[in-house]
């Protein structure tokens, strides 16, 4: 310990008290400021990275904060053209019914590809080439890859939510599976059904009483768009036609989703808080050593 030099001013004690207050403020405020500044910019891109699980961005889609805007991007293969207008209109209606966004913007564009069968890794690569909108400050995005072909690993798949804000729709398979019901009705169901998974339905986020135990993440209600059979070729044989509405039970589930803790959303904040504490500690240590 260094000896206190002779002739120190009598106000040394008060000086230390004030400095301690500053140190505590630095320790408390640094993580908060870091968390807010970096969190706002980074939490969405972090959640949108390749590992983002389906449902992990449910809060960002459902809530008006931090993202008040939502861009619905549909990239369609030129061989199949854009999805039917009525299907997209119904999708937008369902988004307005469930997501608290003041602005929902539709962005449809074509991409050229003659491919007719897609593996999941090819879909991920394709998305990285054709997706134009990723979540940014104040704007959440939802991406649909509208493909003319089919899923190579499961040719009966009509649609698939494969990341926190990414959905593939296999229009080629829908065309052959829709039968007399018509492709437009089935497309509408698929667009809305996969949205439901991204919102955390059914039981992907939180407990859902209407989840069918025999078909995880799906409903047992045939009139519900989250009904398990709408993902299969049985969709064209459902009495009453393919459903495209969320049931009252689904809407109730969404209130649970909003209250449910999603780990991937909180981890960046915890990391930032820890970084902030270490940075604050280093700052205070440096200040002390300079004073000695
Ligand atoms: Zn499903």
The model carries a pTM of 0.80
Query: How many whole angstroms from 63 Cα to the centroid of ligand 1?
Result: 22
Check: CB of residue 211 under 8 Å from CB of residue 218: yes
Check: CB of residue 102 under 8 Å from CB of residue 68: yes
Query: How many whole angstroms from 194 Cα to the centroid of ligand 1?
Result: 6
In CATH terms, 52-264 corresponds, of 3.40.50.1700, 3.40.1410.10, 3.40.390.10, 3.40.50.150, to 3.40.390.10
Query: How many whole angstroms from 92 Cα to the centroid of ligand 1?
Result: 19
223 secondary structure, DSSP code: T
In 3D, which of 87, 129, 68 has the Cα closest to residue 242? 87
Query: How many whole angstroms from 78 Cα to the centroid of ligand 1?
Result: 26
Question: How confident is the chain (292 residues) per 10-residue block, as mean pLDDT?
Answer: 46 57 73 63 50 86 93 96 97 98 98 93 92 88 96 92 94 90 94 97 95 95 93 81 96 96 74 77 76 66
């Amino acid at each position: 310990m260094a000896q206190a030099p002779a002739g120190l001013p009598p106000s040394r004690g008060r000086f230390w008290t004030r400095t301690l207050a500053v140190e505590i403020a630095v320790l408390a405020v640094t993580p908060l400021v870091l968390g807010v500044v970096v969190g706002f910019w980074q939490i969405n891109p972090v959640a949108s990275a390749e590992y983002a699980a389906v449902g992990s961005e449910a809060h960002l889609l459902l809530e008006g904060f931090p993202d008040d805007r939502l861009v619905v991007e549909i990239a369609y293969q030129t061989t199949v053209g854009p999805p039917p207008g009525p299907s997209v209109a119904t999708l937008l209606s369902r988004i307005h019914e469930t997501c608290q966004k003041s602005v929902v913007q539709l962005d449809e564009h074509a991409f050229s590809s003659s491919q007719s069968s897609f593996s999941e890794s090819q879909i991920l690569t394709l998305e990285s080439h054709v997706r134009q909108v990723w979540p940014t400050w104040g704007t959440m995005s939802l991406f649909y890859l509208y493909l003319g072909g089919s899923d190579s690993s499961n040719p009966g798949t009509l649609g698939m939510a494969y990341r926190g804000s990414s959905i593939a729709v296999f229009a080629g398979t829908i065309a052959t599976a829709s039968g007399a019901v018509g492709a437009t009705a089935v497309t509408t169901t698929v667009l809305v059904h996969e949205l439901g998974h991204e919102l955390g339905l059914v039981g992907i986020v939180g407990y859902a009483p209407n989840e069918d135990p025999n078909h995880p993440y799906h409903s047992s209600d045939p009139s519900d768009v989250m009904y398990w059979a709408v993902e299969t070729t049985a969709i064209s044989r459902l009495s009453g036609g393919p459903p495209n509405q969320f049931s009252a039970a689904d809407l109730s589930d969404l209130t649970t989703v909003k209250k449910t803790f999603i780990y991937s959303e909180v981890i960046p904040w915890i990391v930032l808080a820890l970084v902030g504490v270490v940075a604050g500690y280093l700052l205070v240590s440096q200040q002390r050593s300079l004073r000695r």
